[in-house]
Structure 1
Amino acid sequence: MLARLLEPQVERHLLVDEGEIIVDEVRKHWAASIGWYLLLAASTPIFALMIPAGRFFWLPLAAGLAAFLTSIWKIHVVHMDRFVVTNMRVFRVHGVFNQMLATMPMTRILDISLHRPLAGQIWNYGHFTFESAAQDQGLRDIRFVGRPEERDLTIQRVIQRAGLRRTMRPSEKADADY
């Protein structure tokens, strides 16, 4: 039970009997939690304010504890968020006490959009948006994906190898026209 609270254990969601294997397991990029690490670092000077606060030491103590505990919790929540590409589907597992699982078979993926903000271009992360024919999707936005171009190519490769998309072969006559 304790292991489930510390790691998302994505392997237990695989269809092993059907031959499903993990192609890529994606952890959130460090940029997703940098703000929480900064808050964690800020808790130390907040605790230090207890000394000059005198008899009101409990105010910086409470603020320092709130900053410390909130940042530890949020860092762990980011750590537990995983996006997984298998040879059959993509899925996302997230949550600590209440784990949520959202799945989309490769056959349902119609379009993948990649958004790279300026910070994402500098630190090599991006945000994916998956489009499918379904109106209500449990798996639409995947944020803070590290090395997004490589991950996009991996997904496209899995779709292609599964034979879900046809490859257009230019005819010899069309090649001669160019």
Structure 2
Amino acid sequence: MFGVLRQWMRLIPQQEIDSHLLVTEGEHVIDVVRHHPIVYLRPVLEVVLAVLLWVVAVVGPIDLGWFFILAGVALIGHAAWRSLSEHMDVFVVTNMRVFRARGVFSVRIATMPISRILDITVEKPLVGRLLGYGHFVFESAAQAQGLRDIRYIGDPDGRDLTIQRVVQQSGLRGPRQPIGRADGRGGRA
């Protein structure tokens, strides 16, 4: 069964991440983050509603059958579009920057160098804590709006640690210094 599913998944287009990398500068991918599966809940509900509309078209009044069939087709189209646009929205962490690539027909790339990341806020609503997703809010020196809010990230704490590790390894925050006493003798106050 999974082999058939894998073959079908190959038909779905993917974001071309490698074409956005600065390979000659030594940039490589650390993490590729796709949305948590919860983003597909609404499209699935739309498909269920479309099937119900088709059932009503068959068993309901014949004069309105065409309306229910067309409404079902429209819902299926909207669900497919929404699923594909969520699938094509990718957040990438490299050793030099973070970027977000999104779009189905036209692709929009929002980039932020690692050196510009000032703060990352991880928001985890109650449902997100139960299901394992959260949201990132980036604060940067340039306030790149395309990367300000990244919603529905799976394992947000792990992804936050990955970004913090990349920032630390890049040497932008300097080596860790021990906290000394106020009187200058070292150790904790």
What's the TM-score, normalizing by structure 2?
Answer: 0.87
Aligned residue number for residue 31 of structure 1: 38
Q: Structure 2: give runs of 5+ residues left out of the alignment.
A: 1-9
CA distances 1:58-85 after superposition (whole Å, capped 9, x unpaired): 1111111111111011011100000000
Q: Distance in 2 between the 1:83 and 1:136 partners?
A: 14
* Equivalent of residue 51 in structure 2, options 44, 51, 54: 44
Aligned residue number for residue 114 of structure 1: 122
| Residue correspondence of structure 1 range 1-178 to structure 2 within 5 A | 6-51=13-58, 52-135=60-143, 137-170=145-178, 173-175=185-187, 177=188
User: Counterpart of 2:186 in structure 1: which amino acid?
Assistant: A
User: Counterpart of 1:10 in structure 2: which amino acid?
Assistant: I
Q: Distance in 1 between the 2:141 and 2:179 partners?
A: 32
Q: Structure 1: give runs of 5+ residues left out of the alignment.
A: none
Q: Report the aligned-residue RMSD.
A: 1.8
Q: Distance in 2 between the 1:131 and 1:42 partners?
A: 40
Q: Offset at 1:102?
A: 0.1
Q: Offset at 1:137?
A: 3.1
* Pair 1:93–1:171, CA change in 2 (3 A): closer
Judge which range, 5-14 or 152-161, deviates more. 5-14
User: Counterpart of 2:135 in structure 1: which amino acid?
Assistant: H
% identity of equivalent residues:
44
> Contact between 2:98 and 2:114, CA under 8 Å: does it hold in 1?
yes
* Pair 1:135–1:84, CA change in 2 (3 A): closer
* Secondary structure of residue in 1 paired with 2:105: coil
Q: Distance in 2 between the 1:147 and 1:166 partners?
A: 27
Aligned residues, how many? 175
Judge which range, 150-159 or 138-147, deviates more. 138-147
Q: Distance in 2 between the 1:46 and 1:138 partners?
A: 38
